[in-house]
Amino acid sequence: MRAAFRSTALALALAGALPIGLRSAGPRTFTAERELSRVLINVGKSGAFSFAGHTHEVEAPLKSGIVHLDLDDPAHSDVRLEFDAAALRVTGKGESASDVPKVTETMLSEMVLDVSRYPSITFESVSVTAKGPPTALDLSVTGKLTVRGKTMTVVAPVGVKVAADRLTATGRVVIRQTDFGITPISVGGVVRVKNELDITFTIAARER
């Protein structure tokens, strides 16, 4: 009896000593930390005189986010993110400061995001596949991205690291403006922004 008790006690002690990220504890819930998360949208240029235009870097501040992560069975994980469309801002990288207000105004107007009618941009996963060790997962996340009231399916490769009660997810995805009913802005028909938008992201979250 005493030997069994000691074995049980030892097992519990060892489990308690393991880093949280390595414990087999079933599904865990992480809340996104807005100030530590970053989503950047690279808006390229095309056309006969694309050399004369600017590329634009846009930051999309995270409004809220929830990640449910099951380290034992990552396929049962999911994520939901929401962005305030009106809060998107042009960082000014690669262009003159005087152009930033005009670019921002156009981006938020009815010609592009139409934020007065469509105030939110959301992403909600529908499936997750994974490989790699529990503390450094390589995921393929398929989800529904809603922009300007139109929802499309996107697939993003995502690297996830878990340490104690913290989670960091990084990745990149390319989407097309026309898929969401947006016509790429053109200047004089010879300089226009690319249809494809290159999006990189880092989502930081803490277990709650």
Summarize pLDDT for 70-126 with one digit per residue, the tens. Answer: 988 999 999 999 999 999 999 988 777 888 898 899 999 999 999 999 999 999 999
Specify the DSSP class assigned to residue 18: S
Give the H or E element holding residue 81.
strand 78-84
Task: Give this prediction's pTM.
Answer: 0.81
Confidence of residue 52 (pLDDT cuts 50, 70, 90): very low
11 within a domain of the structure (yes/no): no
Q: Which residues contact 18 (CB under 8 A, 6 or more apart)?
A: none
Euclidean distance between the first and final Cα of the chain, in Å? 38
**Any residues with CB less than 8 A from the CB of 200 and at least 6 apart, and which?**
39, 40, 42, 170, 171, 172
Flag whether 7 is in a domain: no
- Does a structural domain hold residue 113? yes
If one counts the domains in the chain, the total is 1
> Going by DSSP bridges, is the β-strand pair 78-84/56-59 parallel, antiparallel, or unpaired?
unpaired
Strands 62-70 and 191-207: unpaired
192 in any annotated domain: yes
Q: What residues are paired with 41 via a beta bridge?
A: 58, 199
Q: Is residue 13 part of a domain?
A: no
C-alpha distances (whole Å) from 41 to each of 30, 132, 186 are 24, 28, 18
Residue 169 lies in a domain: yes
Residue 6 lies in a domain: no
Record the tokens describing residue 147, joined without a space: 């922009």
| Per-residue pLDDT tens over the stretch 184-198 | 987 544 346 889 999
In the predicted model, is pLDDT for residue 22 greater than 50?
A: no
Query: What CATH number is attached to the domain comprising 164?
Result: 2.40.128.110
Shortest CA distance to 43 belongs to which of 201, 203, 199, 169?
Answer: 199
pLDDT > 70: what percent of the chain? 81
Give the list of residues 6+ apart from residue 59 with CB closer than 8 angstroms, or none. 38, 39, 40, 41, 88, 89, 91
Of 145 and 208, more confident:
145
Residue 12 banded pLDDT, cuts 50, 70, 90 = very low
The reply to whether 75 falls in a domain is yes
C-alpha–C-alpha distance, residues 139 and 130, integer Å = 4
